[in-house]
Structure 1
Amino acid sequence: MKKSNIYISFLLLIILLGCKSSNLSYFDKTHPSTTPKLFAPTIVNTESIELNVVFNYNHTEMFFSRIVDNSFVIHHSELIDGKWSNIKPIKMYPDTILVSIACDPTITKDGKTMYFLGVDPKLYNNDITREELYTIPPDIYKSKKVDGKWGLASKVDFSVSTEYFETYPVVTSDGSLYFRSNRPTKNGGMQTYRSQYLGNEKFATPRVVDLKTESKELITYVSPDEQYAITNGQGKFQITFNKNGEWTKPKEIPLTYESGWRYYCPYMSSDGKYFIYSRRYNNPEIKGWAGVEKGEVYWVNANLLLNEK
């Protein structure tokens, strides 16, 4: 069957990425084929709610989020002498903060800065309910790795983090940030933004990313070189390509989407071989994160993105 041009382009992209690194070490010796499987059962996927697995650029540190006692907590493991260390949480806020949100990590190319979605602890007290916590507008935070340890987080500068919702940060190889925000625009609603990194932890004024679609597809993953991006819209993943600075119309990724589950947090492994994503199941009577009963991380051979239906 003849491949469409857009999928051929993506195949070439996968090959190029694959040349950069091969035989990377994961937590499961049995890697997935075109049938999605749970990522690292009992290690990452447990009885808790887990989401958004990502790796650093050199594939020596793995991150994901887990809900612990009503808090979103970023966990990680490091590859040391060819062996992954035990999963440990990363402390992002002072000890006085008992309930918090830290999720959706993204790591700079040098591995020394992490951006993530957080909620300002000063906006609530420790008696807040889970339902109330999830209604507070989130911001983009950063943590610096110094002497091998991730430090307490601080909010990214005001051009990125505002009084409005900012979510889904994704950092590119040059340090620029893509993220979502519902700050006022002529079109209204949530939009994807890109903010050029200026150096010295400063960013240029964010600009709306035009995906040339009437649907609500919003970018949730961007390749480090910004040659392609994965979006969420209508409950499914799509892929869009950067053609001379213009994004193509997103095309659906042919994944089996089960009813009742929401699919999100797409990510491509650094060798280009595996597509990693999260999904969650809600109690039908409770909306939003307050009603989430199960959260899982899956991975699948990236060739899935090339299949035609």
Structure 2
Amino acid sequence: MRHWLIAIATGLSVLAAGTPATAGTEATILAPGVISSDQEEWRISFTPDGRSAYFARSADFFPVSRQATILVSRTTNSGWSAPHTASFSGQYPDIDPFITADGRRLFWSSIRPVDGQPRTDADLWMVEKRRDGRWGEPQHLGAAVNGPADELYPTVTADGTLYFASDRAGGLGGWDIYRSRPGRDGRYGPAENLGAPVNTDGWEFNPVVVGPLLVFTGLNRAGGYGAGDLWYSAATLGSWSTPRNLGPTVNTALDEYHPSVSPSLDRLYFVRHNYDPWVPGDIYTIRARDLYHRLP
């Protein structure tokens, strides 16, 4: 057995280390009263310069209300600015924004009409950055990716591979993680289930791929701390390793979900929710170097 530190801050390398995270290290709420509010906050994603943050907010719990809006906040000399509605959001339920590493595309999940036909399920959409720096018109990702069930939490890797979660029929559990590869025409091909050991007969969702690591939420997964926990798997020889829990610096008996990372890879962000008593989910953050785990 070797002891390893997951060091996202150093290019997602897995570096040898001999001591755990600093004693007393804990995640803190991001921008209380500005980004994290008395409502429900959801996944946050940043522009490459780290100066703009896109995230979703809803008055009620999205899985029940199925209502949310994507907001944007920008850095100022005094901190994060008061959020305003993103240009492509506000008319329909929108959630789970993800900005590509080059800042040219933003993906998200939305319950909005497709080709003029109303939809009641969440599909994956995209906007591209125009020459004037504004976002263009929303584009549906197509039937190869989207189906009659929900598609949520898109993530796109450097080679263009799309990862997302869905509760569609034919999966291993209630929610599974899928991926779709772009063809030469740029359109995404048929979605494929990641299979075991990432997916189980339970719920796996909220995937984010950072370098060789897949970080995701596993609900009540064996070996967890309770409710939703953040887990990670490493890409090895064309497959994903057996997932491991990110540990108690992030996971608690409460519900942790919606992971993301800063553009510089030095911070992890996630949402934490308390249901008894009910405390709306806030966005938390912790330095990547404070994450510690033991790997074989």
TM-score, normalisation: structure 1: 0.74
Aligned counterpart, 1:182: 167
Segments of 5+ residues of structure 1 without an aligned counterpart are 19-32, 125-135, 285-291
Aligned counterpart, 1:139: 123
Q: How far apart are 1:115 and its partner, in Å?
A: 0.8
Q: How far apart are 1:272 and its partner, in Å?
A: 2.4
Q: Distance in 2 between matches of 1:294 and 1:204?
A: 37
Would you say the 8 A contact 1:277–1:298 is kept in 2?
yes
Would you say the 8 A contact 2:73–2:81 is kept in 1?
yes
User: How many residues end up aligned between the 2 structures?
Assistant: 266
Match of 2:267 among 262, 269, 274: 274
Match of 1:158 among 140, 143, 151: 143
Structure 2 letter corresponding to 1:221: P
Map residues 80-95 of structure 1 onto 2, 5 A cutoff. Answer: 86-92=82-88
SS at match of 2:289: helix
Q: Distance in 1 between matches of 2:77 and 2:182?
A: 34
Q: Distance in 2 between matches of 1:83 and 1:283?
A: 31
Q: Percent identity?
A: 22
SS at match of 2:159: coil
Question: Would you say 1:296 and 2:288 are equivalent positions?
Answer: no
Map residues 38-187 of structure 1 onto 2, 5 A cutoff. Answer: 38-67=29-58, 71-78=67-74, 86-92=82-88, 97=91, 100-121=92-113, 122-123=117-118, 136-146=120-130, 147-185=132-170, 187=172
Q: How far apart are 1:247 and its partner, in Å?
A: 0.5
Q: How far apart are 1:201 and its partner, in Å?
A: 4.2
Match of 2:257 among 256, 264, 267: 264
Q: How far apart are 1:240 and its partner, in Å?
A: 0.7
CA 1:216 to 1:57, structure 2 compared with 1: closer, same or farther past 3 Å? farther
**Alignment RMSD:** 3.1
Q: Distance in 2 between matches of 1:186 and 1:52?
A: 24
Q: Distance in 1 between matches of 2:171 and 2:40?
A: 37
Q: How far apart are 1:117 and its partner, in Å?
A: 1.1
Structure 1 letter corresponding to 2:88: M
Structure 1 letter corresponding to 2:229: K
Would you say the 8 A contact 2:174–2:201 is kept in 1?
no
SS at match of 2:10: helix
Would you say the 8 A contact 2:178–2:192 is kept in 1?
yes
Q: Distance in 2 between matches of 1:137 and 1:180?
A: 13
Segments of 5+ residues of structure 2 without an aligned counterpart are 14-23, 221-227
The one-character-per-residue Cα deviations of 1:150-198 (angstroms, maximum 9, x if unpaired) are 2442321111111122111111112221011233327464321111122
Would you say the 8 A contact 1:108–1:175 is kept in 2?
no
Question: Would you say 1:216 and 2:216 are equivalent positions?
Answer: no
Q: Distance in 2 between matches of 1:271 and 1:110?
A: 13
More helix by proportion, 1 or 2? 1
Q: Distance in 2 between matches of 1:162 and 1:294?
A: 30
CA 1:184 to 1:148, structure 2 compared with 1: closer, same or farther past 3 Å? same
Q: How far apart are 1:68 and its partner, in Å?
A: 5.3
The one-character-per-residue Cα deviations of 1:101-153 (angstroms, maximum 9, x if unpaired) are 111111123312111111124537xxxxxxxxxxx421111122222222442
Structure 1 letter corresponding to 2:102: D
TM-score, normalisation: structure 2: 0.77
Q: How far apart are 1:209 and its partner, in Å?
A: 1.0
Would you say the 8 A contact 2:12–2:210 is kept in 1?
no
SS at match of 2:291: helix
CA 1:188 to 1:66, structure 2 compared with 1: closer, same or farther past 3 Å? closer
Q: Distance in 2 between matches of 1:113 and 1:272?
A: 19
The one-character-per-residue Cα deviations of 1:257-301 (angstroms, maximum 9, x if unpaired) are 454x421101122222211100223478xxxxxxx7512000112
Q: Distance in 2 between matches of 1:222 and 1:67?
A: 22
CA 1:80 to 1:153, structure 2 compared with 1: closer, same or farther past 3 Å? farther
Q: Which moved more, 1:142-151 or 1:80-89?
A: 80-89
Aligned counterpart, 1:15: 10
Question: Would you say 1:250 and 2:235 are equivalent positions?
Answer: no
